[in-house]
Amino acid sequence: MYAPERQQQILVLAQEQGRVDVPTLAEEFGVTQETIRRDLSALDKAGLLHRVHGGALPAGTLHLEPGLAERDSTAAAEKERIARAALGVLPSLLPEEGTLLLDAGTTVSRLAALLPQDSRYTVATNALPVAARLADHPSLTLHLIGGRLRHRTHAAVDAWALRDLADMHADLAIVATNGFSAEGGLSTPDLAEAAVKRAMVTGARRVLLVADSSKYGARHFARFADLRQIDLLVTDTGLDDAQAAEIQGLGPEVIRA
């Protein structure tokens, strides 16, 4: 089957079912998940589908932001590998007593849980799950950024959070995203959350993006950064060579765990 024929059938399935997912489509058409992701990205760019985490919705369908539990359980194995790989590169990005900004991503939270108890970083975060995982690290200096709590992500946002971040200069920011691509940059469904992520990106000397490959090509309502602002992307092996090369052409180093 040629790609245009397969993409036409994907459109029909999306309209009939209300949503399509990558693993099911790959099995249905007997192709790799990477091929399906390229199909969905092409349909998204044409305005025929909306890419979402792990699949796509018909054009015109509202992007519903998943809750914390759903996000944490999605691509869990990939997120764990990404977190461990990111931990491995921290010494090359961050001084032993460096300053670190951590945002409200589930992969970021997994990374926080892996930080050794004797870490001597100064960490600022707007995420309650991240703060909870670091609260018992005796050698670490932890600052909790305040603001209105978003119940869906357990992240502090709005004016208080932005005011706190405006006074910070960090060695490294580690951020997550709901979608990323060469054309669409980094994006998330919520404007308030995007504003905090943007402040972290601009307030750090270096930026590390942790994102599983299913988010590649997805574009959401609120864009908060360009890939040119990212120094390093740690993702999984679902990102193929061509996609990795496209990203590296914009500046970031890419590690696939």
What is the pLDDT at residue 62?
45
CA distance 153 to 246: 30
**Residues 138-171: tens digit of each pLDDT:** 999 999 999 999 988 999 999 999 999 999 999 9
**Residues 53-72: tens digit of each pLDDT:** 788 888 755 445 555 555 55
pTM (two decimals): 0.74
**What does the pLDDT average to over 179-199?**
92
Q: Given this structure, which CATH class describes domain 69-256?
A: alpha beta
pLDDT greater than 90 at residue 120? yes
Fold of the 3-58 domain: Arc Repressor Mutant, subunit A (1.10.10)
Band of residue 125 on the pLDDT scale cut at 50, 70, 90: very high
What is the pLDDT at residue 186?
96
CA distance 211 to 78: 9
CA 164 → CA 17, 67, 130, distances in Å? 44, 26, 17
Indicate the domain borders of the chain. Answer: 3-58, 69-256
Question: Which strands form 170-175's sheet, in the order they lie side by side?
Answer: 141-144, 122-125, 99-102, 170-175, 204-210, 232-235, 253-256
Tokens for 207? 């930026």
